[in-house]
Amino acid sequence: MLAEQGDCGLHLLTLKQAQANDELLGSPARHLCLVGGARSGKTALIVRAMIIRGLVVPCTQAILRFRQNSVWPSVGLQTIPFVINHFWPQGLRHRMHLSDHYLELLDTGSQIWLGGLDEKSRVDKILGKEYLSIFFNECSEIPYNSVLIALSRLAAKVAGMRQRAYYDLNPLGLGHWTNMLFGEHRNPLTKHKLDDPHNYKRFYLNPRDHAEHLDPDYLASLDAMPARIRARFRDGVYVDEVASALWTFTGLEACRITRAELPPLQRVVVGVDPSGAANSLDLGHDPIGIVVVGRGADGHAYVLADDTLLAGPNEWGRAAVAAYHAHKADRIVAEVNFGGAMVEYVIRTVDGSVPVTLVTASRGKVQRAEPVSALYAQGKVHHVGRFDALEDEQVSFSDSGFTGLGSPNRCDALVWALTELMLGENASGWVDYYKSRHERIVKRDEEIAATAPGIRLQTALDQALIKLKAPDPFMAYYVTGPDGQGKRYVSDGDASIEAHPRHLAGLIQAGCVQVEETIEL
């Protein structure tokens, strides 16, 4: 037990770390998970345990993150030196192999390798060894399938020392695989109860437990975060997914890719959602959403940047134009509800050559966001890296409204950009969305009708009309929808047509152009 818990520098542990060291790291379980908020000492405690294991017996261990380019700078160059200097102040004979990314303990010859699971050649290198311990660091970013592959190498047999799999993370939604495995004791793939739940144990550590090592201003900044972000990074708890959520933390994690995985881009747009703020001190207004999205050669969309800021018109105009040039964008798509023509004027004052498309939000936020969330569900949208503030807004959307604080300007800017890229030029995305929604509601109506004959409920296709511009005023069109139902439309004096979504594709083919506005009936 002493070799598992370690007696080195016990007095240097915080009270909560000492408790975790005893109850978690000293337990007989094979899989050990530390969950909690940011900067709570989770990673340092596990690294300390691995070094102690390497000092007791000669062995090979691994610390793995999903991305190779983050594990060495964070753990190799920061956490490991801190742990050695803090817990072995009299010195520890070791060597950091910078080119090969591993720590060698000179007294026993033990090695702790650091690697990523985001690229085949790196995975092959990691899987070329057998390990006594594997530590999955920041496993909120690691897909469960990648964990399973790496666990196949947790196979080193060392007398007197049990194999260990360590995990740590800032928790996500309750549906995340770590909560299913360590909280519900279910297999994340089959959802069946584990045969050996005693082998899966977790412990919570949070920043307040580590306060003696943190700046009070940092703790205060955690207190000031929005509720859902605060729950994750300060309180360190798994968050309930919003009922009928348009996005979930688990779903957003699944759509995440690295910059190296980004395909060639055919188009890039900058979505802008102004808030009416006068300057950076105008706390009575929300930040101005500025989100950059590209469309790849594979037909998928890629979220590239979130440059949202609280600023006055001159500053946010420069930020939007800077994002346009930095990402070699095709245009800026901006909502004009705040400021009308002023929005275009602000952008063109900074750079008159930037193409600008202005959109008007006549529909509600949820109605605009739903078809975009459907693109995510179809696996057609990917986040290139992490966008915590944006993603917090996304998971706060349900089909009944936005449940977060303030206005979701980041998410609105994302929706404008994705609508332009994925739904604006080609009506099929909207048609697919409304068709699938129509089918779901029809199924619901049939179930209700079976128990309450005579009741007729309006479907989604009965509830909204989509506005289009015809090539000329007073033109007549007869179109047939995918359900075979036909209808005659005549454009008015402004060349406008209000059409049911089922007829949208036919009108587009006839030369009409969809505008963002939808009239709610």
Identity of the highest mean pLDDT range in 151-155, 234-238, 245-249, 511-515:
151-155
Give pLDDT tens digits for 115-140: 988 777 667 777 789 999 999 999 98
427 vs 95: which has the higher pLDDT: 95
State yes or no: pLDDT of 462 exceeds 60.
no
Q: What span, in angstroms and rounded, lies between the C-alpha atoms of 414 and 271?
A: 6
Mean pLDDT of 225-238: 80
Q: Retrieve residue 422's tokens.
A: 């994925």
Q: How far apart are the first and last CA of the chain?
A: 70
Residues 6+ apart with CB under 8 A from 473: 491, 492, 493, 494, 495
Taking the domain 2-233, which CATH number applies?
3.40.50.300
% helix, strand, coil for the chain, step of 5: 40, 25, 35
Least confident window among 15-19, 211-215, 358-362, 492-496: 358-362
Q: How would residue 510 be classed by pLDDT, with cut points 50, 70 and 90? A: confident
CA distances from 365 to 287, 390, 396 (A): 17, 15, 12
Answer yes or no: are the C-beta atoms of 140 and 253 closer than 8 Å. Answer: yes
Q: What is the DSSP string of 277-316?
A: --STT-TTSPPBEEEEEEEETTS-EEEEEE--B---HHHH
Q: How would residue 519 be classed by pLDDT, with cut points 50, 70 and 90? A: very low
Q: What span, in angstroms and rounded, lies between the C-alpha atoms of 476 and 492?
A: 10
Q: What is the mean pLDDT of the chain?
A: 83
Mean pLDDT of 424-431: 43
* pLDDT reported for residue 185: 95
Identity of the highest mean pLDDT range in 179-193, 242-256, 319-333:
319-333
State yes or no: pLDDT of 449 exceeds 60.
no
Mean pLDDT of 31-50: 94
435 vs 221: which has the higher pLDDT: 221
Q: How would residue 242 be classed by pLDDT, with cut points 50, 70 and 90? A: low
State yes or no: pLDDT of 433 exceeds 80.
no
Q: Retrieve residue 98's tokens.
A: 């910078």
Answer yes or no: are the C-beta atoms of 489 and 479 closer than 8 Å. Answer: yes
Nearest residue to 223 via CA among 240, 241, 211 = 211
Least confident window among 158-162, 201-205, 348-352, 388-392: 388-392
Least confident window among 34-38, 62-66, 117-121, 250-254: 117-121
Q: Label residues 408-439 b or e (16+ Cβ within 10 Å = b).
A: bbbbbbbbbbbbbbbbbeebebbbbbbbebbe
* pLDDT reported for residue 339: 54
3-class SS at 394? helix
β-pairing, 265-273 vs 256-257, is unpaired
Place of tokens 């990314």: 101
> What are the backbone dihedrals phi and psi of residue 350, each rounded to the nearest 5 degrees, phi first?
-75, -45
3-class SS at 126? helix
* pLDDT reported for residue 445: 53
CA 53 to chain centre: 35
Counts of helices then strands in the chain (DSSP H, E):
19, 22
Q: How would residue 296 be classed by pLDDT, with cut points 50, 70 and 90? A: very high
Answer yes or no: are the C-beta atoms of 4 and 201 closer than 8 Å. Answer: no
Q: What span, in angstroms and rounded, lies between the C-alpha atoms of 302 and 418?
A: 9
Q: Label residues 216-226 b or e (16+ Cβ within 10 Å = b).
A: eeebeebeebe
Q: What is the DSSP string of 454-516?
A: T-----HHHHEEEEEE-SSTT-EEEEE-TTS-EEEEE--TTSEEEE-GGGHHHHHHTT-EEEE
Please report, as a single letter, which amino acid is at residue 481: G
3-class SS at 378? coil
> What are the backbone dihedrals phi and psi of residue 105, each rounded to the nearest 5 degrees, phi first?
-95, 110
State yes or no: pLDDT of 444 exceeds 80.
no
Give pLDDT tens digits for 153-180: 999 999 989 999 999 999 887 878 899 9
Q: CATH topology for 249-424?
A: Nucleotidyltransferase; domain 5 (3.30.420)
Place of tokens 């057609």: 380
Q: How would residue 517 be classed by pLDDT, with cut points 50, 70 and 90? A: very low
* pLDDT reported for residue 455: 42
Q: What percentage of the chain exceeds 90 in pLDDT? A: 40
Answer yes or no: are the C-beta atoms of 174 and 182 closer than 8 Å. Answer: no
Q: Retrieve residue 156's tokens.
A: 């080193």
* pLDDT reported for residue 241: 65
What's the 3-state SS for 194-242?
A: CCCHHHEEEEEECHHHHHHHCCHHHHHHHHCCCHHHHHHHCCCCCECCC
State yes or no: pLDDT of 336 exceeds 60.
yes
State yes or no: pLDDT of 431 exceeds 60.
no
Long-range pairs of 502-508 with CB within 8 A, sequence gap ≥ 24: 502/431, 502/434, 502/435, 502/438, 502/461, 503/479, 504/427, 504/430, 504/431, 504/434, 504/466, 504/468, 505/427, 505/428, 505/431, 506/477, 506/479, 506/480, 506/481, 507/468, 507/477, 507/479, 508/427, 508/468
Least confident window among 261-265, 374-378, 382-386, 491-495: 491-495
Give pLDDT tens digits for 468-503: 888 877 777 778 776 666 777 888 777 888 888 878
CA distances from 287 to 310, 335, 389 (A): 4, 14, 12
Mean pLDDT of 54-80: 93
* pLDDT reported for residue 389: 84
